[in-house]
A and B are shown apart, each in its own frame.
Chain A
Amino acid sequence: MDGIHDLGGMQGFGKVPHTNNSLSYKPVFHEDWEHLAYSLLFLAADKLKNFSVDELRHAIERMDSRHYFSSPYYDRIVIGTATLLVENGVISQEELNEFLGAEFKLARPYWSEGRVGKSGRSAFEVGDLVEVRNEFVSGHIRMPGYVRGKQGVILHRTSVKWPFPDTIGHGKAAVAEPTYHVRFKMSDLWGTAGDDGFVVVDLFESYLDKVTLPSAEGQKSSQSQKALAALV
């Protein structure tokens, strides 16, 4: 979903509000309600098994864009959790309104059914050159937009598989996939309008295609090899 939450690379933001090692990180919570956000999320997701954390991420992404941007972090967790509990019929909008004494604004309804992954392909190997599929997905997806269509090199394939987010993020049973740590050159992502260095993104198998280098003769092949070497 190409929403406001997909912030990676967006320009116009000022300084990060922090100086290294300036905080004690105690107390963990600065206001007396903040612990409720994750507690109620884990109560609903883990204890009541009412939804997955993927659905929670998607519920927060479904918040109206202005609502998302004007709500503090833990508030968004509360709103996402409340949205799913209402959508799943555990509590009602009216009950929330009554306890709040005002309209409890929830996230927007789903506008996508989600999708299934591309199962049945052979796994990629460490060192493979891969391209992020040039796909536009209206529902939940764990591919930040800045790597769409870009090429990178696999550093790691996970030894565990997890349900495909684009399916389970919509409350549906999903096929499990490994993910890959794919390394991209920052200059391939931002040209000269960014710093140098690398970005590694942890991508589900279905988001990727293997790039087959032209096996044949001469110039073309050596150029591709050079491109690959530059990425590794």
Chain B
Amino acid sequence: MSHETPSKTDTTPAERARALFKALAAKNLIPDGFIADFTRKMEVDWDPANGARVVARAWVNPEFRELLLKDGTAACEEFGYTGPQGEYIVALENTPKLQNVIVCSLCSCTNWPVLGLPPEWYKSFEYRARLVREGRTVLRELGEDLPDDVTVQVWDTTAETRYMVLPVRPEGTEGMSEEDLAKLVTKDVLIGTARPKAPSRSIA
């Protein structure tokens, strides 16, 4: 046997990722700083707090709300929240009788700049397989038990549109500042598996 076949059989994802990195680095194909810069975008810049700010603005500012629903890309661009996997943004308007929820059944497509990278559970085979068929049941299991008169509308991210859910502003939040309202909008609220809740009143 002339060509040595590598003998090790069990390799880990970490080892494979590093092998690919080394193969590219050995050919000087990785520019200085490229990975650090891209990693900073993924870890810091693309964050669900971005989407939360967009939602809070729409809750307090009717003109912005109208823009967000008409041209989500332009509205998010006002905050600088566009970029890779967030170039054609559509906001999905919830009503008391309609709950929108987002999935990518074929892979993991997500509005990165507005929602942050997709979490592991969103990329799970369970969520990808089940949401388009039993959305109401999946939401209940995740902790959002919707009344029967609320319609569940699932959006499968199968092309270039990247979605965000615009939830209903919860009752009991009158007079809250835009900044405090944004704190009610979690990543799961932006994906649509959860509805925002008014903060419970502290016993003073």
Contacts and interface: CB of A to CB of B under 8 A. Distances in A.
Interface of A: 5-11, 13-21, 23, 25, 27-29, 31-40, 42-44, 46-48, 57, 60, 69, 71-75, 78-79, 81-82, 85, 90-91, 95-104, 142-144, 146, 156, 158, 160, 162, 165, 179, 181, 183, 186, 189-190, 194-204
Interface string B18-58: 11111110110111001100110011000110000000000
Interface string B120-136: 11011111111011111
A48 B27 CA distance: 13
A87 B113 CA distance: 31
Given A38-B42, A194-B133, A144 B121 contact: no
A97 B4 CA distance: 11
A19 B23 contact: no
A28 B116 contact: yes
B39 A39 contact: yes
Interface of B: 5-11, 13-24, 26-27, 29-31, 34-35, 38-39, 42-43, 47-48, 84, 88, 90, 105-108, 116-117, 119-121, 123-130, 132-138, 141-144, 151-161, 186-188, 193-194
B53 to A, nearest CB: 16
B19 A200 contact: no
Q: Which of B5, B24, B90 has the most CB of A within 10 A?
A: B24
Contact of A81 (B10, B20, B129, B193): B20
Contact of A200 (B6, B35, B43, B156): B156
B32 to A, nearest CB: 12
Contacts of A162: 159-160
Nearest to A78: B17
B156 A201 contact: yes
Contact of B43 (A27, A74, A201): A27
Q: Give the residue among B27, B39, B159 with the most A Cβ atoms within 10 A.
A: B159
A35 B120 CA distance: 14
Contacts of B31: 47
Contacts of B154: 186, 197-200
17 contacts: A10-B129, A13-B129, A14-B126, A16-B138, A16-B141, A20-B143, A21-B188, A40-B35, A82-B23, A102-B8, A103-B6, A104-B16, A196-B152, A197-B151, A197-B154, A199-B156, A200-B155
A46 to B, nearest CB: 8
